[in-house]
A = this chain, B = another copy of it.
Amino acid sequence: MNQTGIPDIIVGRLPKYLRALQNMTSGGIVKTSSQELGNYLGISAAQIRKDLSQFGEFGKQGTGYSVPVLIQELQRILKVDRVWDMALVGAGDLGHAIARYQGFIDCGFVIKLVFDADPQKIGQPLGTFVIQDIADLVTAVQASNIEVAMITVPPQAAQSVADLLVKAGIKAILNYAPVTLNVPGDVHVQHIDPVIHLQHMTYYLE
């Protein structure tokens, strides 16, 4: 799963560095330091330097890092110096919101296919897409060479959708359904569940 030997916990921080640097760019900042970046992210400067040093030497003693250079390097490392096509499965409220979200493209992602099982929805437009029958998922995804998918179906349907996606050759799944997915070892899964985050915080309240 981890071909390069870089700890996954470090890989997981790189997208956060990238986002912070892109936010800095929007603010017109072109130079930064591990100190400044760490301050912004609530992470120690030493950790940022150590993380980056796993991949190369991107800074200069005395002056720090060039923001555009570091952005470029991180995009290359994370393989988002290209655009990844994605399939979206589940055209409910959340699926609609995600299909219309404008924030993917500048980060290396674009939705290409949208599926649902509901006959009422199949054939309907969703933004610039036409909702396709989930029965055609395997064929359509295979034909498009898509490797990344998002699941926004009800929890009971999520595992069977995951099975279809795996069959279609998908290698990365972002799962919005509140269930643990069972997939082969070569398929990556990440999970988004607002309730998990809310319950994490309520522990500390009162």
CB atoms of B78 and A199 under 8 A apart: yes
A62 interface residue, CB < 8 Å from B?
no
A44 interface residue, CB < 8 Å from B?
no
A101 interface residue, CB < 8 Å from B?
yes
- Quick one: CB contact mask for A193-206 with B, threshold 8 Å, 1 for yes? 11111111111111
Q: For chain A residues 93-118, which have a beta carbon within 8 Å of chain B?
A: 93-94, 96-98, 100-101, 103-104, 107-109
The CA of A88 and the CA of B16, in the complex, are separated in Å by 24
Which single member of B80, B84, B97 contacts A96 (CB below 8 Å)?
Answer: B97
Which single member of B15, B96, B108, B204 contacts A3 (CB below 8 Å)?
Answer: B204
Q: For chain A residues 123-157, which have a beta carbon within 8 Å of chain B?
A: 147-148, 150, 155
Q: For chain A residues 168-206, which have a beta carbon within 8 Å of chain B?
A: 171-172, 174, 178-180, 188, 190-206
Contacts of A147 in B (CB 8 A): 205
Contacts of A1 in B (CB 8 A): 204
Q: A204 with B2: in contact, given A93-B101, A179-B23, A180-B42 (CB under 8 Å)?
A: yes
Q: How many of A's residues come within 8 Å of B, CB to CB? A: 62
A45 interface residue, CB < 8 Å from B?
no
Q: A198 with B93: in contact, given A14-B203, A203-B77, A203-B78 (CB under 8 Å)?
A: no
Contacts of A69 in B (CB 8 A): none
- Measured CB to CB, the residues of A under 8 A from B are 1-3, 11-12, 14-16, 18-20, 23, 40-42, 77-80, 84, 86, 92-94, 96-98, 100-101, 103-104, 107-109, 147-148, 150, 155, 171-172, 174, 178-180, 188, 190-206
**The 6 residue pairs across chains A and B that have the minimum distance between CB atoms:** A190-B197, A15-B199, A93-B97, A172-B201, A97-B97, A188-B201
